[in-house]
Amino acid sequence: MDLLRIAKKYALVNAVLHNGKANPDAVIKKIVIENPAIRNDLKDPEKRNFIKETIFKVVSEINRLSIEDQEKILKKEFNLSVEELLEAKSKKTREGLPPLPDADKYTKIVTRFAPAPSGALHIGQFLRAAYLSYIYARKYDGEFVLRIEDTDPKRIKKIYYKWIQEDLKAMGLHWDKLVYESDHFDLYYKLARELFLKGRAYICTCSTEEFSKYKEQKKSCPHREKLDKVEDWDKLVNGEYQFRSAVIRLKTDMKHINPALRDPPIMRLIKNVPHPRTGYKYTLYALYNFACVIEDHMLNITHVIRAKEHQTNEDIQKEIYQAFGWQLPTFIEYGMIKLPGMKIHKRYIRNALRQGDLSGWEDIRLPTLRALLRRGIHPEALKKLAEHVGMTKNDIEVSLETLYTFNRQILSPIAKRISFVKEPYRIIISEVEEPIEVKMDWIPGNPKAGKRYYRLLPVEENGKKSIEVFISKDDLSVIHNAMKSEDIIRLKELGNIQVINISEQEKTIEAKLHSRKVIPGISKIHWVPGEDLYIPAIVNMPDGSRIKGLTELEAQKLEKGDYIQMERFGFGRIDANEGEIIIIAYAHP
């Protein structure tokens, strides 16, 4: 076994999959898996020390390289690409999902994602309810249903019907069947009437406070024992009922140990709000649990995948299933996902929108899918995160860094590189006698993506020829250190300079060109060309702040939606190309 070569291979693989930093322990594990015989060597103290020292040395060398260089070496020496590694990892993860319980009971697996059109979809809905339902349907060659739960006219808006479908398509989740619950209002009426006629449901006009008292006392409300007539039902359905509020309650057990299961409501009267699809045609609307049971039964849903916080709803639904004599589907519950720093509840977002604190559901401060995609979070990165968190019943906290790591892996091979400098300082570089031509890859390692080309022409003033470029204020410390120590620093792809003077008041730096050849070990900074070869840019940050600066003129070739990597600053996406200025949405470092 060539230990150096195999260590280099797995160090590179581990590094490109983990933001350029390989983990020695992970490398050792991979080597042992491929070469089980090495276990015996690891039992010998002397051999173990040699193996570990060799691996640590290789890992240290690999970790000093840029991700771009790591990827180039991996492709050149081992014929492996990041895309191939990610696909293999994704396939392994997908195949590693736990099997669906009771899968062998059904001839065809049918799952569903059932959002309410009460806002744009957010990351919490996608990671489990949407993606897991989708991926399991695909894993078992089954059917994935998108069901729009639009039975509450007070909460829903017409535009959200469209957005739900747009968001899922943007994420690459394509449904086999699209269902609107509002198409089935007549069916809900019919089935509720059946329960009413069988004595399993009754009309209740108690106020919420009144019924709560009966529930606490484990006593029936007066309406439960009243012998309702068919005429009463018809009046309620036809909107002729004299009461402003009324609900249909399912008769269960008013002494049930769980108060929520004491005669739960299944339909309610709403007279004053038109429905986006049916207007004022209906006044009696099915509540969530009632509509959910009917739809799941009619669609032959085999597996209901949802958060464990729905346990009470599940218990109520079981009572409804029992009342109709229908077969229960298999219920699968998962824990809550906490994303520190993200307020994912639609209630918070709606309030902020109404108060004018947000520009819309695409505001990049939000955790909505459309906001995350706008920032430059790739759909595949969100899928990777969904597979990463899986379907554990435990509540888990997921760092956004995990999402960003997945996103870097996916964007590195496809994002176009540009330079962006904030709070720019001008560097006047003297002793430039000839024009300097600079060619930089749009995407390193991808010659088909082409190059950005600049021809920097020296300008003569007071007998000296010079060119100018801009750097970020963030790199002033590098400039100061170079001037004090009389060291040279490298402007990436352009050349090496020696700093002569700094004027922070005028935001100007004087330097002279030292050479153009690559010198290992010296500090490198990025830059934007001066003269007429730059364009103003604004980077909108996820915390709501805006960073103004300059970007290179070639950025004008970028279009809205293009993924980019700003040199030494971070990933993002072109939000707008306005000709005179480029607007960028920032994703992460």
**pLDDT value, residue 27:** 86
Last residue of a domain, one of 60, 80, 100: 80
The DSSP element (H or E) to which 548 belongs, if any, is strand 546-552
Report the distance separating Cα 115 and Cα 459, nearest Å.
Answer: 63
Q: Which residues of the chain have pLDDT under 70?
A: 1, 19, 82-84, 86-96, 227-228, 242-244, 343-344
DSSP-based three-state secondary structure for 245: coil
**pLDDT value, residue 91:** 54
Contact 506, 540 (CB under 8 A): no
User: Does residue 392 belong to any structural domain of this protein?
Assistant: no
The tokens describing 188, both together, are 């809900």
Last residue of a domain, one of 49, 80, 111: 80
Report the distance separating Cα 73 and Cα 572, nearest Å.
Answer: 26
Query: Could you tell me if 457 and 568 lie in one domain?
Result: yes
Query: Could you tell me if 557 and 442 lie in one domain?
Result: yes
Query: Could you tell me if 445 and 563 lie in one domain?
Result: yes
User: Does residue 268 belong to any structural domain of this protein?
Assistant: yes
| Best CA proximity match to 572, nearest among 582, 585, 562 | 585
> In total, how many domains does the chain have?
3
Task: Find the CATH number of the domain harbouring 218.
Answer: 3.90.800.10
Contact 266, 250 (CB under 8 A): yes
Q: Which residue has the tokens 């429905």?
A: 275
User: Does residue 267 belong to any structural domain of this protein?
Assistant: yes
Four-residue CA torsion sign, 362, 364, 370, 373:
positive
| DSSP string covering 212-235 | HHHHHHT---HHHHS---HHHHHH
CA–chain centroid gap for 86, Å, is 17
| Best CA proximity match to 546, nearest among 412, 404, 372, 423 | 423
Query: Could you tell me if 428 and 575 lie in one domain?
Result: yes
User: Does residue 378 belong to any structural domain of this protein?
Assistant: no
Contacts for 342-349 with beta carbons within 8 Å, 24 or more apart?
342/123, 342/367, 342/400, 343/367, 344/122, 344/123, 344/124, 346/118, 346/119, 346/122, 349/119, 349/122
Query: Could you tell me if 72 and 197 lie in one domain?
Result: no
User: Does residue 557 belong to any structural domain of this protein?
Assistant: yes
Amino acid at 223: H
Query: Could you tell me if 274 and 421 lie in one domain?
Result: no
Last residue of a domain, one of 80, 115, 138: 80
Report the distance separating Cα 456 and Cα 435, nearest Å.
Answer: 6
User: Does residue 99 belong to any structural domain of this protein?
Assistant: no
User: Does residue 229 belong to any structural domain of this protein?
Assistant: yes
Q: Which residues contact 507 (CB under 8 A, 6 or more apart)?
A: 424, 425, 426
User: Does residue 330 belong to any structural domain of this protein?
Assistant: no
Range of the domain at 229: 183-289
Report the distance separating Cα 497 and Cα 216, nearest Å.
Answer: 80
DSSP-based three-state secondary structure for 35: coil
Report the distance separating Cα 589 and Cα 572, nearest Å.
Answer: 9
Task: Find the CATH number of the domain harbouring 492.
Answer: 2.40.240.100
pLDDT in tens, 448-504: 999 999 999 999 887 789 999 999 999 999 999 989 888 999 999 999 999 999 999
Report the distance separating Cα 38 and Cα 115, nearest Å.
Answer: 52
Q: Which residue has the tokens 């229960």?
A: 328
